[in-house]
Chains A and B, each alone.
Chain A
Amino acid sequence: MTPRTVGSIGEIWVYLAASPLLGLTLTLLAYQGAVWVNKRCGGHPLANPVLIAVAALVALLWATGTPYRTYFDGAQFVHFLLGPATVALAIPLYAQLGRLKRMAGPLLVALLAGSLTAALSAVLIGKLLGASAATLYSLAPKSVTTPIAMGIAERLGGLPSLTAVLVILTGILGAVGAQGLYALLRCRDPAVQGFALGVASHGIGTARAFQISEQTGAFAALAMGLNGLLTAALLPVLMPPLMRWLA
């Protein structure tokens, strides 16, 4: 490559944005900044690190006219770690093996109730307020972890990339609101808190649950995994007749 002179800040940006380094560095910077803000706010759930980091990055990419593809070329290295991190959830889960065995029956019934509530209430409310069919199909799997949800949306005929965004938003909502809701319901058992957060808000809820306690996190991880399996099995069967009925 021949050396080139770069005149303005704008040109430097264009030049650097062409390599994965910038997207990766910006992601790490934005996240650490967001964690710092979260700490300054005393760990308030509204100052959610994912929310702050995403907002900052979107604002920056928009302001500089950088396409998402260009950003993702760098950010994909972080995105890739979701795979091994999901596998690693088996370890906190194993630590709760004794309690899991004792609670297996109640956990499975609560899982079925929560999983159906999440998907069906989202589709019904969306339909009632006039969402398009593609949006409804993308909305249905929004309570399960991103890779599973995208796969389900694709099978149903939704838009996988829209689903990814709705999944993240659902996760943030649960992480932000769960503790207020638990106070309202007078629900204090860490196992119950974690499990409900994992069913409704997958990995982001699980990340939030781990901030509360190790046990809360382990039950959230369990719920996230189970709800991923259950939703992947149920929605392809339930959605076509439901959509015919709603049409």
Chain B
Amino acid sequence: MLAALTLLLLFQLAGEAIALFFALPVPGPVIGMGLLFAALAWRGGPSAELRGTAQNLLQHLSLLFVPAGVGVMLHAQRMVDEWLPLVVALVASTFLAIAVTALVLRFLHRHEEERP
């Protein structure tokens, strides 16, 4: 548990350092995820301990978004003033994006599987 958590933090730290050094617009943890993925592919999979720790952490992924979500109270005024464009834009664009991604992927994937 402790070793696995340290490993995750080390990969995050490496990601942050690379993002800073090359002035990348991508945040450190995402680069850290890419690095860990590459390491797993090279090593041939995670240890049982790392897999268990990741499972524990990801099981409560929703919890980790709560503090940022409560920040909605800082923008109450703007959200009241611009509620209509915000509501319509958020709802429509989210469902459009899901539908477009799913339909394109299903079309291409099916196409590929039908090829001999």
A residues in contact (CB < 8 Å) with B? 27-28, 30-31, 48-50, 53-54, 57-58, 61-62, 68, 71-72, 75-76, 78-79, 81-94, 97, 103, 105-107, 109-111, 113-115, 117-119, 121-123, 125-132, 135, 139, 142-143, 145-148, 151-152, 155, 159, 161-162, 164-171, 173-174, 177-178, 181-182, 185, 187, 189, 191-193, 195-197, 199-201, 203-204, 206-207, 210, 217, 223, 225, 228-229, 232-233, 236
List B contacts of A203 (CB < 8 A).
61, 64-65
Tell me the bound Cα distance from A72 to B72 in angstroms. Answer: 12
**In this assembly, does B17 line the interface, its C-beta being within 8 Å of a C-beta of chain A?**
no
List B contacts of A103 (CB < 8 A).
109, 112
A interface secondary structure, majority: helix
Q: Are B97 and A110 in contact (CB under 8 A)?
A: no
Chain B's closest residue to A193 (CB) is B102
Q: Are B25 and A200 in contact (CB under 8 A)?
A: no
Q: Are B33 and A90 in contact (CB under 8 A)?
A: yes
B interface secondary structure, majority: helix
List B contacts of A168 (CB < 8 A).
65, 68-69, 72
Q: Which of B60, B74, B98 contacts A161 (CB 8 A)?
A: B74
Known interface pairs A165-B75, A181-B95. Does A132 touch B108 (Cβ–Cβ under 8 Å)?
no
Q: Are A88 and B57 in contact (CB under 8 A)?
A: yes
Q: Are B85 and A125 in contact (CB under 8 A)?
A: yes
Q: Are A169 and B67 in contact (CB under 8 A)?
A: no
Tell me the bound Cα distance from A90 to B34 in angstroms. Answer: 7
Q: Are B33 and A192 in contact (CB under 8 A)?
A: no
Chain A's closest residue to B37 (CB) is A90
Minimum-distance CB pairs A-B, first 7: A114-B101, A106-B108, A75-B67, A118-B97, A129-B85, A110-B105, A122-B93
Chain B's closest residue to A88 (CB) is B54
Q: Are A117 and B100 in contact (CB under 8 A)?
A: yes
**In this assembly, does B5 line the interface, its C-beta being within 8 Å of a C-beta of chain A?**
yes
Q: How large is the interface on B (under 10, 10 to 19, 20 to 34, 35 or more residues)?
A: 35 or more
How far, in Å, is B90 (CB) from chain A's closest CB? 6
Q: Are A170 and B32 in contact (CB under 8 A)?
A: no
Q: Which of B25, B27, B40, B105 contacts A195 (CB 8 A)?
A: B105
B residues in contact (CB < 8 Å) with A? 5, 8-9, 11-12, 15, 24-30, 32-34, 36-37, 40-41, 45-46, 50-51, 53-55, 57-75, 78-79, 82, 84-86, 88-106, 108-109, 111-112
Q: Are B54 and A92 in contact (CB under 8 A)?
A: yes
Q: Which of B25, B60, B102, B111 contacts A196 (CB 8 A)?
A: B102
Q: Are B98 and A197 in contact (CB under 8 A)?
A: yes
Tell me the bound Cα distance from A109 to B41 in angstroms. Answer: 24
Chain B's closest residue to A170 (CB) is B94
Q: Are A192 and B106 in contact (CB under 8 A)?
A: yes
User: Can you list 18 contacts pairing A with B, beta carbon distance less than 8 Å?
Assistant: A54-B69, A68-B74, A83-B32, A84-B5, A87-B15, A91-B36, A91-B51, A92-B54, A94-B40, A103-B112, A110-B102, A122-B89, A125-B93, A162-B78, A165-B68, A170-B90, A174-B94, A233-B25
Tell me the bound Cα distance from A206 to B64 in angstroms. Answer: 12
List A contacts of B36 (CB < 8 A).
87-88, 90-91
Chain B's closest residue to A206 (CB) is B61
Q: Which of B9, B75, B79 contacts A84 (CB 8 A)?
A: B9
List A contacts of B25 (CB < 8 A).
148, 151-152, 155, 232-233, 236
